Chains A and B, each alone.
Chain A
């Protein structure tokens, strides 16, 4: 019998915007409801670059996965994976490494149900419904333990999610819990929204207002704060940067990088 996690909502309220479906909308997908589109459009009205930010972040994810594959990583734990829309980790990974295994984790029941449909019959990828704020439960989940081998390096992806975890939920503690369980040679990929260098506070306020109506209010972080969350990991070059600047495909792709409003980086857990 599948135990319902005790934090899960008792009913699914698709009348409330979901950050996962809003993100899908920014990326040009149609896996969203009217309420998500309305919230996303309000966000775009406040921050017109929002879709570009999402795209830049998604491109960062793609390059980071490719980097990890090239580094020999074959196991991925994508926490806060959202709606499995274009360019999922398992699509990118299995294209160049058919033996790659991917575990998706999300707290949004609709996103999980959708992922489950997409992954049906896929032996090397699975999805579990859990909350990033419960890392111990994630790591102990039987489905995860079935697929991932903790004697081999694992890449933990927390991409475009940490801005939904306020400091009061102890993100450093969450990452420390993950780090203690990961084998040496594992990687941590983080990216999140940042207000560094943004012209006005008004944008930030407006963005926060939009996300207050979701289940996930927004917490932007500075580059320094995000760098601190890599504690215990060795940051891979170029460190924590605007996501378009992180190992771009071509030099001009990193132009106007600060407009992406997303900072990110990759860290490696030493031997």
Chain B
């Protein structure tokens, strides 16, 4: 057989081979392509059967090539072995003497090469799908982490400014306090609020307000460096300064923040300049809590605001203590009224002409169960701030009238009772009715009631209080101006008001304690003399307050002052002592 005959005979064999293996696995080629491929292998197998010496490598390679062409299944090998064994020698007319031995070795080498290649291919594919599985898992986990990070960011940041929000800030502050890092045993806070931000919102609209907040946030972020800036809501921001050594470290941050906020910004064509107030707290982390720190910063922010804004204020524990006490006191007033913890002392107003008692001023006292007896200067201011003064003042007025009503039983020439009226009482509707009812109930003649009001009460231009005082005056009630000469001393009201008496402030009288030739003392005396002559020119009587020495009394009498009040003439004392004195 010539070499030329082989391809044709090989073609017959290859067709049979292709038919045997088709369908054993997916083959990415046409039947014709498969036959052509197998024919090339057939030629190589035929060559191997003839070659001397016998070369196993041809069989190995044919097996591997089958797998590489995707004829790669157990069935594919089985049918290949079968078809070679049954047909190859016959189809190709091979008749060499040791051909059966060679055929056995050829089949063995094809099967070996095939199995090796199939194993390698299987391992490669397994490895690649495992790797894909791991990649996919890593990708999914990365995506999950990203979405968690995104979610976490949303949960911990303010959507408007992208600054950390209250949640993140609280977390960080709590961490800084509960679990401080090495060397970070102090912590500071700047609690900031824009001054008059509401005006921006109200006049330019919320959209501009929001953009201004974004601009402020950007400037803050830039100015405070590594410190955490958070937006707590509205126009409230807070800066956490960790690892401070002293208050000054936080003050520097506050200065930087105020400077940054104070830069003017162009927002939507509006040139806007805002200022801010900052409450600063700085203290050791040991012994404090996030709540304490925030409360202190909040209080301090209000101090800064109260001082006019555009500034920082430092937390002051003493001031805080005082305010806390004041707050506690003011909160206790209603219950104290109910429990009868208030009572009145009385101080005489004595005539400098004949030495008799013209009047008696009622002075309120608070017998506080823990703090002892409190003088009015420790709680009247509070009561005025909170509005409780109306109730408290009403009680004082009623009690004083009740007491004074008894005095006519003791003496026919009983003195008048002088009672302080707070601004709010004067402004309260129903003052006239309240006083009239009291006078009726106690039988106190109106002439024996004097109401002391301060100059500042009259600074208001409201008509209602003036009308009320005029009605009371028409009833016969005396109206006195208390602490005259210390306020603005706008004398215009003296023209319009039914005033009967001026009470000169104790500060002028204090000057009279110095020797008469002392220049300052002479000045005070001249002021007093002018005030007295002014009063007399207006048909008003004059009472000097705070008279403590006979010399003061003598000098006051010399300048024509009508009456005096003070330790020299009698200290404030319980009602019984006044009664004794009147008898």
Contact = CB atoms under 8 A, between A and B. Distances in A.
Nearest to B130: A33
Interface string A17-58: 000010000011111110000000000000000001011001
Contact of A87 (B28, B72, B128): B28
Contacts of A29: 125
B126 A249 contact: no
A109 B140 contact: yes
Given A12-B133, A110-B133, A30 B126 contact: yes
Contacts of A9: 140
A110 B143 CA distance: 14
A169 interface: no
Given A28-B73, A30-B125, A117-B135, A10 B144 contact: yes
Interface string A69-105: 0000000000000010011000110000000000000
Contact of A253 (B24, B31, B139): B31
B20 to A, nearest CB: 15
A59 B31 contact: no
A50 B133 CA distance: 25
Given A1-B146, A31-B128, A113 B135 contact: yes
A133 interface: no
A36 to B, nearest CB: 9
B264 interface: no
A62 interface: yes
Interface in B47-83: 70, 72-73
- Which of B24, B28, B32, B129 counts the most chain A CB atoms within 10 A? B129
Contact of A91 (B28, B30, B135, B146): B28
A110 B125 contact: no
Interface string B118-139: 0001100110110111011101
Contacts of A12: 133, 136-137, 140
Given A114-B132, A250-B31, A109 B139 contact: yes
Nearest to B137: A12
B232 to A, nearest CB: 30
Interface string B131-168: 11101110111011011000000000000000000000
A55 B25 contact: yes
Contacts of A62: 28
B26 interface: yes
A220 to B, nearest CB: 22
B501 to A, nearest CB: 83
A247 to B, nearest CB: 11
A55 B73 CA distance: 13
A125 to B, nearest CB: 16
Interface in B14-51: 23-26, 28, 30-32
B32 A59 contact: no
A11 B141 contact: yes
Contacts of B132: 31, 110-111, 113-114, 117
B30 A249 contact: yes
Nearest to A63: B30
A28 B126 CA distance: 13
Interface string B393-434: 000000000000000000000000000000000000000000
Interface residues of B, number: 30
A11 B121 contact: no
Contacts of B31: 249-250, 253
A92 B139 CA distance: 29
B28 A112 contact: no
B530 to A, nearest CB: 84
A84 to B, nearest CB: 10
A4 interface: yes
Contacts of B30: 249-250
Contacts of A59: 26
Contacts of A2: 143
A51 to B, nearest CB: 8
A83 B26 contact: no
A242 B290 CA distance: 75
A228 interface: no
Contact of A27 (B25, B129, B136): B25
B31 to A, nearest CB: 5
Given A10-B144, A12-B133, A30-B121, A117 B70 contact: no
Nearest to A9: B140
Contacts of A31: 125-126, 128-129, 132
A89 to B, nearest CB: 11
Given A4-B147, A10-B144, A114-B129, A28 B28 contact: no
A136 interface: no
A172 interface: no
A30 B140 contact: no
B41 to A, nearest CB: 19
A236 interface: no
Contacts of B146: 1, 4
Contacts of A27: 25-26
Given A4-B143, A33-B133, A55-B23, A114 B28 contact: no
Given A30-B121, A114-B128, A8 B140 contact: yes
Q: Shortest 8 CB-CB distances between A and B: which pairs?
A: A87-B28, A28-B25, A4-B143, A114-B132, A30-B125, A109-B136, A113-B135, A113-B136
Interface of A: 1-2, 4, 8-12, 14, 21, 27-33, 52, 54-55, 58-59, 62, 83, 86-87, 91-92, 109-114, 116-117, 249-250, 253
23 contacts: A1-B146, A11-B137, A11-B140, A12-B133, A12-B136, A21-B129, A28-B24, A28-B73, A30-B122, A31-B126, A31-B132, A59-B26, A86-B26, A86-B70, A87-B26, A87-B28, A109-B136, A113-B136, A114-B129, A117-B128, A117-B132, A249-B31, A250-B30
Given A28-B25, A114-B132, 14 more contacts: A4-B147, A9-B140, A14-B137, A28-B24, A28-B72, A31-B126, A32-B129, A87-B26, A109-B136, A110-B132, A113-B132, A117-B135, A250-B30, A250-B31
